[in-house]
Amino acid sequence: MPEKDWKRINMSRPLIRIALPVILLSATGCFSQDAKSTAEMKSKDTSSVTKITTASDTLLVQSKPLISSIYTADPSAHVFDGKIYIYPSHDIESGIAETDNGDHFNMKDYHILSMDEIGGSVKDHGVALDVSSIPWAGKQLWAPDAAYKNGKYYLYFPVKDKEGVFRIGVATSNKPQGPFKPQPKPMEGSYSIDPAVFTDDDGISYMYFGGIWGGQLQKWERGKFNPGGSKTDLMQDDKPALTAKIAKLKDNMLEFAEAPRDVVILDEDGNVIKGGDHDKRFFEAAWLHKYQDKYYFSYSTGDTHKIVYATGTSPYGPFTYQGVVLKPVLGWTNHHSIVEFKGKWYLFYHDCELSKGQTHLRNVKVTELHYDKDGRIIPMDANVQNIANQ
Ligand code: FUB
């Protein structure tokens, strides 16, 4: 990569507005000290490297892992008390062989991270919830999310119950970083994985959830868990794809206020996206954010490894497919969150840079996210291998 192709942009310098395709982007770097205790990691280099290209409308971004003392993934970021809190999965080496079912993702606890500023130091608050403290849980603490209401913080998490069925649990705390105390049972009527809670401007909260393949959504097609159901999806390429679920939450944030319904995703022609459309259909990692009064539903396409998005005028959808947010990263999974902080928008995501590509050992990252004048998200390529090959 010729050095002249890259520009170093200091995070504190104002970004110059240039017509698309123009690219700018940020990176945040932190280095850890101690994996076990609460530890504060100081950023050694908060400069960012950005490629400006006129050949495509994709931003090439290069970010550093936010923390390297532990492996982290599936970052759900929120702004609480003027700080960024990140609720990630805590990846570990489980010694379990890789399967399509995701058995190798055998995580046992959650650590919550916080930052006062993007690019500043990252604090690991230590164990916030351990699988052994959840009375109904079996194994595999997968991608969590968090919410705040009426002075309390809620941590939502998917974990297999003792029968091996994924359910969604909720735990509460008076502090955003926990520790969290789990409810004695999973949320009534919950199933599958990857809860994401969005609270609208009117204070009503909704949970989006679901994931196919190892996330088991396909095994609930008839409203009841079918252990003999397909291992992947519905195996019906010409029929509407399985999709995420949405349910309004009760004001107590502990229960669904209604039966979960489908998050309908339409293509550009207004047709429901089909099961065979692997580039666009929902796989896992639902996220909802609101930008300029529009609802943006983003998700991972799983076996095509992209984060894509669709927009609508209601939190229930329907949502119309718009395009790619993030191209495939290093590693099999792709999982993100999108959050506004101090007037800028950020994409939190993960890849496997620290483990040099080991799928189940990931690290979370952040980069700035940009919209064009029509509110379209400018797609990003953060694949460390693609960048190295430039
Ligand atoms: O971290 C385990 C699983 O991998 C998550 O629940 C999925 O979204 C994928 O990132």
Beta strands 344-351 and 39-41 are: unpaired
pTM: 0.89
Amino acid at 125: H
pLDDT at 57: 86
Q: What is the DSSP string of 208-253?
A: EE--SGGG-GGGGTTSS--TTS-SSS-S-TTSBPP--EEEEBPTTS
Instruction: Give the span between the Cα atoms of 156 and 146, in whole angstroms.
Output: 6
End-to-end C-alpha distance for the chain, whole angstroms: 5
Q: Residues near 44 by Cβ (< 8 Å), separated by ≥ 6? A: 29, 30, 31
- Mean pLDDT taken over the chain: 88
**Index of the ligand 1 atom closest to the CA of residue 158:** 6
Residue 170's φ and ψ, nearest 5 degrees, are -135, 140
Closest CA to 148 of 244, 73, 83, 72: 83
Mean pLDDT, residues 67-78 taken together: 98
**Cα distances (angstroms) measured from residue 325 to each of 48, 104, 115:** 19, 27, 24
Nearest protein Cα to ligand 1, atom 2? 142
Between 95-104, 201-210, 307-316, the lowest mean confidence (pLDDT) is in 95-104
Instruction: Give the span between the Cα atoms of 117 and 341, in whole angstroms.
Output: 9
Three-point CA angle 172, 174, 179, nearest 5°:
65
Nearest protein Cα to ligand 1, atom 5? 143
Q: List residues with catalytic annotation.
A: 74, 284
For residues 199 and 10, the model is more confident at 199
Nearest protein Cα to ligand 1, atom 4? 333
Between 39-53, 113-127, 267-281, 351-365, the lowest mean confidence (pLDDT) is in 39-53
**Index of the ligand 1 atom closest to the CA of residue 333:** 10
pLDDT at 44: 36
Beta strands 109-115 and 83-91 are: antiparallel
pLDDT at 56: 63
**pLDDT tens, 171-211?**
999 999 999 999 999 999 999 999 999 999 999 999 999 99
Q: At 258, is the pLDDT very low, low, confident or very high (cuts 50, 70, 90)?
A: very high
**pLDDT tens, 33-57?**
222 223 333 333 333 334 434 346 8
For residues 4 and 158, the model is more confident at 158
Alpha helices in 239-292 (DSSP H): none
**Cα distances (angstroms) measured from residue 145 to each of 280, 292, 365:** 23, 23, 16
pLDDT at 10: 26
Domains of the chain listed by start with CATH number:
6-388 (2.115.10.20)
Probe ligand 1: pick from 87, 110, 284, 334, max atoms within 8 Å of CB?
284
Probe ligand 1: pick from 105, 355, 358, max atoms within 8 Å of CB?
105
DSSP secondary structure code for residue 153 in this structure = E
Closest CA to 296 of 279, 308, 284: 308
Instruction: Give the span between the Cα atoms of 187 and 129, in whole angstroms.
Output: 17
Is the pLDDT confidence value at 116 over 50?
Answer: yes
